[in-house]
Amino acid sequence: MSPVPSALIWDPAVTRYKFRPDHPFNPRRLELSVSLMESLGLLGDGCRVVAPRMATDDELLAVHSAEYVDAVKRFSAGGDRSDAFQWGLGTDDTPIFPGMHEVTALVTGATIRAAELVMSGEVRRAFSICGGLHHAHRDRGSGFCVYSDLAAAIAWIRREHGARVMCIDYDAHHGDGVQGIFYEDPEVLTLSLHESGRYLFPGTGFVDELGEGEGYGYSLNVPLEPFTEDGSWLAIHERLLPEVMEAYRPDVVVLQNGCDGHALDPLTHLRATTRLYEETVRIVCEAADRVCGGRVVATGGGGYSIWQVVPRAWTLVWGALSGQPVPDRIPREWLERWQGEAPELLPELVRDAEGAYPAAPRREEIQAANRRTLEQLRRQALPLIRGWGLGF
Ligand SMILES: [Zn+2]
C-alpha cells in the first residue's frame, strides 16, 4: 500500500449540524474521528485537510424543489412552521433547528468540494466526513437528512464534467433519497447494500426496485438479512462490486460510508466489525483503480455508537482511501484525551479482534438467504446494464 493524494474535507463548523442534545445523529463523532486520524499521524504529506464551502442555491436547486428549499430557509430563520410536516421536517427524527439551512448548505458544499478536488485531478480520493445524508428527497427531509449532499455532488459532477457516476452506499439503511432523485437517470447508477426494509427504516430497497424509464436497470439493491456478519457481507461485495463496475464503467465513484451496520450500533440489527469498513473501501478503491482512474468521492453517513465504533470505522475508511496503513493500537494519548468524557470504556484496538462479538445465531441460514438475494439481483439487473449480456 502506498499513499494516494487525498483530501479530508473538514472544519469544526460542520458540527453545527445538530438537531438537539439527545438526538442520535451526534456531530461529536466527527471530532472524535478526526482526532483519532490526527493522533495516528494520518493527516500529513499528500493526505491533507481541506475546508468545505457553502453549496450555492443553484447547486441545491439542481436536486431539490424551490418550494422545499424556501421552506427550509423559513424554518431555519425561525419563521412560521405550521406546514413543517408537509416537508418531512419538525418530526422526532428530523426536527427543525436554528440555522439548519446554512449548516446543511455547508455540509452539502463539503461533498461538492470533495467532488471538485477529485474531478480536477488535484487529489484521487476525497472524504467529506460530515456528508452522506442519503435519505433527503427532492421535496422532503427524512431520517436525519435535510438536503442531499450526495445528490447535489452527483448533479455537480454531471453538470460540470458530464461524467457517469456510480454511487455505492453501504450504510445499514437503504439509500432511498439518492435512489429516488436519480431513479430515471441511466448516467447515475446507485447500488445500496443495507439491512432489509422488512425490518428497518425506511422500509424500501428491495431487489425489484430497479429504476424507471431510461433509468431501468440502474438502481441496484441488496437487502441483507438482520444479523449479517462481515463474512457474508464481504462475499457479496467481492462478487457484485467489481462485476457491476466493469459492466457499467463509471467515470467516478461516490461512496457513502455509514457505519451503522456495526454489531454495537444501537439503531440496526446487522453484525459487522470495524474490519468491514476497511475491506469494503479497499475493494471499491481497487475496482476504481482499474475502471475510473481511482477516482472516489467518499462521505460519512449513519453511525450511532459514537465512542466505540465511529472513530475507528472512519479512521479505517480514511486509511483505505488514502492508501495509508492504519496501526492496530489506538494511541494512549487519544484514549487519555477522551476517556474522561466517554460514558463507556473506550476500545484499545482499531480493528475488532477475531471473535470480539458472539457469533450470530443461524449464521448459515443468513448466509444462504443473502446468497439467494444476490443471485436474484444478478439475474434481474445485470442483463439490463448496457453492454452486458454475454457469458452470464
Ligand atoms: Zn443508516
Average of per-residue pLDDT across 305-319: 98
Average of per-residue pLDDT across 216-226: 97
Query: How many CB atoms sit inside 10 A of residue 238's CB?
Result: 14
pLDDT at 386: 54
Distance 183 CA to ligand 1 centre (A): 20
> pLDDT averaged over the chain?
96
Q: What percent of the chain has pLDDT over 90?
A: 94
Average of per-residue pLDDT across 134-139: 98
User: Chain centroid to CA 6: how far?
Assistant: 17
Give catalytic status of residue 135 as yes or no: yes
Distance 137 CA to ligand 1 centre (A): 15
Catalytic residue among 135, 174, 194, 269: 135
pLDDT tens digit sequence for 141-167: 999 999 999 999 999 999 999 999 999
Distance 252 CA to ligand 1 centre (A): 23
- Binned at pLDDT 50, 70 and 90, residue 360 comes out as confident
Is residue 329 packed enough to be buried (19+ CB in 10 Å), middle (13-18) or exposed (0-12)?
A: exposed
Lowest-pLDDT choice from 25-29, 43-47, 147-151, 330-334: 43-47
- Binned at pLDDT 50, 70 and 90, residue 391 comes out as very low
pLDDT tens digit sequence for 325-338: 999 999 999 999 99
pLDDT tens digit sequence for 51-101: 999 999 999 999 999 999 999 999 999 999 999 999 999 999 999 999 999
Q: What pTM was computed for the model?
A: 0.97
- Binned at pLDDT 50, 70 and 90, residue 390 comes out as very low
Q: How far apart are CA 295 and CA 128, in angstroms?
A: 14
pLDDT at 385: 87
pLDDT at 330: 98
Is a pLDDT exceeding 60 seen at residue 387? Answer: no
Distance 387 CA to ligand 1 centre (A): 33
Per-chain residues with Cβ under 5 A from ion ligand 1: 171-173, 258, 260, 302
Q: Whose grid coordinates read 459492466?
A: 247
pLDDT tens digit sequence for 268-290: 999 999 999 999 999 999 999 99
Is a pLDDT exceeding 90 seen at residue 361? Answer: no
Q: How far apart are CA 365 and CA 197, in angstroms?
A: 19
Is a pLDDT exceeding 80 seen at residue 304? Answer: yes
Q: How far apart are CA 353 and CA 365, in angstroms?
A: 24
Is a pLDDT exceeding 70 seen at residue 319? Answer: yes
With the CA atoms of 225, 145, 152 and 212 taken in that order, what torsion angle do they form, in degrees rounded to the nearest 10? 50
Distance 21 CA to ligand 1 centre (A): 19
Is a pLDDT exceeding 90 seen at residue 367? Answer: yes
